[in-house]
Amino acid sequence: MKSTLSLALAALVAASPLTAQDNTVKPAESPAAKPDMEKVSYFIGRQIGGQFKQQKIDISLENFTAAVQDVLGGKEPKYKQEELEAAMGVFEKYMQSRMAEIQAEMQKEAAAKAVESKAAGSKFLAENGKRPEVKTTASGLQYEVIKQGDGAKPVPTDKVNVHYHGTLVNGKVFDSSVQRGEPITFGVQEVIKGWTEGLQLMSVGSKFKFFIPSDLAYGDNGAGTDIGPGETLVFEVELLKIEK
């Protein structure tokens, strides 16, 4: 049985953008740049710390840091292996017994956060909707035409190629094909409801700004670490082409 700590570290590897997806050895076109190990180390620390926080593990930071230093320094461990294994056995049983309680706490926190975020989103949308350049549909989706194209409009069965820049109402960027420098292709019905509706309002060549209430986005569940429960989302979307 894997320990909770082992699962946390496994999640770290899975979450890292550096995890290899293709193990095929390919010739390097140029010498690899030397990594900034201060930032890499900080990234790893944040990932592990995030796992501990998410699983509500009250870790001793002093002993955790000492153990890492001992391993890297080739020092003898502070405790015997059998002591450590016995402690981990007790820890695993404790965490298993607390799992339902932890999940209930997380659900309660998420529900409270959703209420707070939806209230803030409703206030934002109410003010935003007063602007003359903003239109509001029957579903509650708001949009603003930044540039009007003259191409065809997609239908639900189409695939589209777009550039987008997504933020929360406070301006925090959570995803952006523009920043990555590469547009993305997907089906009109393969995305959140606000996108599915909004894309069909656009002609190829258009650039719109969507203001999407949470019930047309990710709802009370949120998405990943950057989009919390009940968040209203803002997207700048440029429709580049329709792919039949």
- Is 143 annotated as catalytic? no
Query: Of residues 143, 164, 208, 211, which has the active-site annotation?
Result: 164
Query: Of residues 174, 186, 215, 226, which has the active-site annotation?
Result: 174
Measured in whole angstroms, the distance separating CA 234 from the mean position of its chain's CA atoms is: 15
- Is 227 annotated as catalytic? no
Q: How many CA atoms lie within 13 A of 144 on its CB side?
A: 15
SS3 at position 145: strand
CB 186 within 8 A of CB 160: yes
Q: Report how far residue 186's alpha carbon sits from residue 196's, in angstroms, rounded to the nearest whole number.
A: 11
Q: Report how far residue 146's alpha carbon sits from residue 41's, in angstroms, rounded to the nearest whole number.
A: 42
Find, among 215, 219, 205, 213, the residue nearest to 233 by Cα: 213
- Is 242 annotated as catalytic? no
User: What torsion, rounded to 10 degrees, do the Cα atoms 170, 174, 180, 183 define?
Assistant: -100
- Is 186 annotated as catalytic? no
Query: Of residues 124, 143, 175, 220, which has the active-site annotation?
Result: 175
- Is 174 annotated as catalytic? yes
- Is 192 annotated as catalytic? yes
Question: DSSP secondary structure string, 30-45?
Answer: SPPPPP-HHHHHHHHH
In angstroms, the Cα distances linking 18 to 14, 40, 188, 225 are 9, 10, 30, 18
Catalytic residue numbers, as ranges: 164, 174-175, 192, 218, 235
